[in-house]
Structure 1
Amino acid sequence: MSVKGHEAEGPKFSYGIAASFTAKDRRYNPDKNIFNFNPYNHIRARRKDKRTRPDSGQDAFFVSRVGESNDVAFGVADGVGGWMDSGVDPADFSHGFCDYMAHAAYTYQPAGKTPPYTARSLMQRGYDDICEDKTVRAGGSTACVAIAKGDGTLDVANLGDSGFVQLRLNAIHYHSEPQTHAFNTPYQLAIVPRKVRAQAAAFGGYQICDFPKDANVTEHSLRHGDVLVFASDGVWDNLSSQDILRIVSRMMVGARAWEHTADGIQVSNNLQHFTHFTDAEDGKNSSEDIPSLQSFLAVGITSEAKAASVNTKVDGPFAREVQKHYPFEYWRGGKVDDICVVVAIVVEEGK
């Protein structure tokens, strides 16, 4: 589903957004593990019933309109699995954190001197809300949060080893760099109980707890036909940015959303047709059986990441990093993990 940009002067942009996901201990089902963004959907403050969560394991995502502005906020969060050793379900933090960010964006109302959300301030709001939630006693996650605006600008706050790439006409225009304290130790938001802090100190250690202010903030100008891929480390540990480009290019060209011309690959004149599969004001699909191009991309990336994660013969990015840091440790193939992907296709209206 897509959302239209502001009724303002200058170019207006809309975004077709979809997500796909799979838990590491589940078989991937592309027919069920898919989400198409509908800006008209009501967003609740918190899904406390775990059965209503997406089947994405400890990974989580969100997509929401920003108030009535029709800008779009979205992102991914990867629950830190180490909290399981303390009897904590890491998914409680990551899913609750995303729920709170989605609701904060959805209910945003500019009033007085209240500034509009930035990606980092939205991350801060979600973190504050999850810290105040008494049902979540501990936990943590990485986060990559974005706000795509109707004027074609993208604001991103990335903390940890989730991340994103911006693809433009068969090329990587930008890719984020992971934030790590050490190998396989990403920056992470956390709720750390006093008892856990005391235990860590007693044994000469410490519990990692970073904050939204530590996130790497970047701003990007978007163009018609750009593809944004946000994903948890279950993707980046198994697929490189070049792998993502290969997958997306094959599918965009195959769908004729990007086309070969005498001047090289160009954006199709029918791109909006591929990303907007409803014209109804109430947000209902004109055909429930017709998926969007963004959903095809999200499924394609998730499928390949899942396959790579269980491939024992082809070394992925994580395996190559292990070999570099620990040359005497045997690690081959992929890295089994939860996987979460959010794809956004940029459409400039009138093109």
Structure 2
Amino acid sequence: MILTTCTSRTTRISKLSISILKRYKQTSSSSSSSSSKLQNGPIITPLYSNSYQFKYSIGLSYASKYSPPFINKNEKINQYGFYNNKENEISKWVNEMMNFKAGRGELKSDKEGGWSIETLNQVKKYGAGEDFFGIQKVGNDLHLSLSDGVGGWTDRVDPSLFSQALCYHYSNKALQFASSDPKDILDKAYKELLNDDRVVAGGSTLVGVRLGEEGDASFINLGDSGYAIMRNDEIIHISEPQTHFFNCPYQLSKIPKDMQQNGVIHDTPSLADTFNFQVEVGDVIILFTDGLSDNLPISHIPLLSSKLNKILNSYENSHLNQIEKSSEFSRLFSDILVGYSRNAMKRTGNEKDWKTPFELEASKKVPQYGFKGGKIDDITVMTAVVSEQD
């Protein structure tokens, strides 16, 4: 496979598309008569065009919890982890990942592609917080990974150092060993991280998938990040979160010697869940950190998918071919999921329509705390839409 960008033709967003986004306040309320051009996200295309193979259109969106609207726009921001921080291999790789076009859940009806220059600048300014991600082409395969740094390390180290380094080593080991087994890759990556002096301590979850050119998908998940597979606007499989107890996920950790007797959570790659699946044309794969799953009811995801598909299949977008629609869907859908989830983070629990998953789980596991509403957190969402090679 080779990483390319789909040749763009104008996709028109009418006021119907903006109705999808009215559930979160980041959406612009400007004139509904305006239309926007959608900037296509990266597409993974097969190397051999004459065989039956697949393309994967990739969408990416992320937002730090320490970013507007949860902080003042004028507040000073500290850079996370290795980004623009140190001149080493990890820093260079993190900068490369941050150069992928991505949203932060703030689609605007009056801006080309839904992303204003200000929005694109804010994506890099605020970053993914303690989350991070990896996108790695290996031969004819594509490896995607997401990691959520454990915030409990904040008093001692920057949690994003661990999550960024884990995704780096995961991507690097996938490339270095050309392995098709995500668990084997994670095991090698974790061992490499434990020997990496650039990360003193920390911990994180990890969810990943290998997407093969013949539609074979291999998933791995350790912790409370996760993945879902959608077909025809229905979720046909979703991962189960791995937790030791409420709000304490399985996690890979690097523990300094002076803390090794303090009962710090320390899990291993062998505990990760794995799942193999044969994708079909039109399937949608979603990787997410718990900023989504703690705030967005899973039942809402197919509804958002259905509405977005109606827009892309409308008469005004009939000039798009299927590959272009897949590219547009992947980019928009990841951003919609981030924006919808971030709006849910602002819920108080007094609303009459629905409760966040975090509130519902807290009421069962720790009712004594009386937790209500959404959970403000970092969030990262990556989508992959399956298309057939022309």
TM-score, normalised relative to structure 1: 0.78
Match of residue 288 from structure 1: none
Asked if the contact 1:230/1:342 (under 8 Å) is kept, the reply is yes
1:170 maps onto 2:221 in alignment: no
Q: How far apart are the structure 2 equivalents of 1:232 and 1:307?
A: 16
Asked if the contact 1:227/1:344 (under 8 Å) is kept, the reply is yes
Match of residue 77 from structure 1: 147
The match for 2:91 among 47, 50, 57 is 47
Match of residue 322 from structure 2: 271
Q: How far apart are the structure 2 equivalents of 1:146 and 1:349?
A: 20
Deviation for aligned residue 1:249: 2.0
Mean Cα displacement is larger for which, 242-251 or 148-157? Answer: 242-251
- 1:108-257 equivalences under 5 Å are 108=176, 116-198=179-261, 200=262, 206-256=263-313
Q: Can you give the 5+ residue segments of structure 2 that lack an aligned partner in the other structure?
A: 1-41, 71-87, 99-123
Deviation for aligned residue 1:48: 6.6
Match of residue 35 from structure 1: none
Q: Partner amino acid for 1:251?
A: L
Match of residue 334 from structure 2: 298
Asked if the contact 2:60/2:382 (under 8 Å) is kept, the reply is yes
Q: How far apart are the structure 2 equivalents of 1:96 and 1:253?
A: 39
Mean Cα displacement is larger for which, 116-125 or 156-165? Answer: 116-125
- 1:22-68 CA-to-partner distances (Å, cap 9, x unmatched) read 00010279xxxxxxxxxxxxxx94117988755000011111101xx
Deviation for aligned residue 1:207: 1.2
Q: Partner amino acid for 1:96?
A: A
Deviation for aligned residue 1:158: 0.4
Quickly say closer, same or farther: Cα 1:6–1:121, change in 2 above 3 A. Answer: farther
Q: Partner amino acid for 1:98?
A: C
Q: Partner amino acid for 1:59?
A: D
- 1:298-317 equivalences under 5 Å are 298-313=334-349, 314=351, 315-317=355-357
- 1:195-240 CA-to-partner distances (Å, cap 9, x unmatched) read 0113x1xxxxx11111111100100110101111100001000012
Deviation for aligned residue 1:94: 0.1
- 1:58-113 CA-to-partner distances (Å, cap 9, x unmatched) read 011111101xx22100011000000113x1110000011112222333x4365xxx
- 1:175-209 CA-to-partner distances (Å, cap 9, x unmatched) read 000111112111100101110113x1xxxxx1111
Q: How far apart are the structure 1 equivalents of 2:250 and 2:63?
A: 23
Match of residue 95 from structure 1: 164
Match of residue 56 from structure 2: 15
Match of residue 32 from structure 1: none
Task: Give secondary structure in 2 for the equivalent of 1:108.
Answer: helix
Deviation for aligned residue 1:128: 2.0
Deviation for aligned residue 1:329: 2.3
Q: How far apart are the structure 2 equivalents of 1:229 and 1:51?
A: 23
**% identical aligned pairs:** 30
Deviation for aligned residue 1:127: 1.4
Deviation for aligned residue 1:149: 0.4
CA RMSD of aligned residues (A): 2.4
Q: Can you give the 5+ residue segments of structure 1 that lack an aligned partner in the other structure?
A: 30-43, 111-115, 201-205, 258-267, 277-291
Deviation for aligned residue 1:6: 5.6
Higher helix share: 2
Asked if the contact 2:93/2:168 (under 8 Å) is kept, the reply is no
Q: How far apart are the structure 2 equivalents of 1:98 and 1:323?
A: 33
Q: How far apart are the structure 2 equivalents of 1:152 and 1:50?
A: 28
Mean Cα displacement is larger for which, 311-320 or 69-78? Answer: 311-320
1:330 maps onto 2:387 in alignment: no
1:59 maps onto 2:127 in alignment: no
Task: Give secondary structure in 2 for the equivalent of 1:124.
Answer: helix
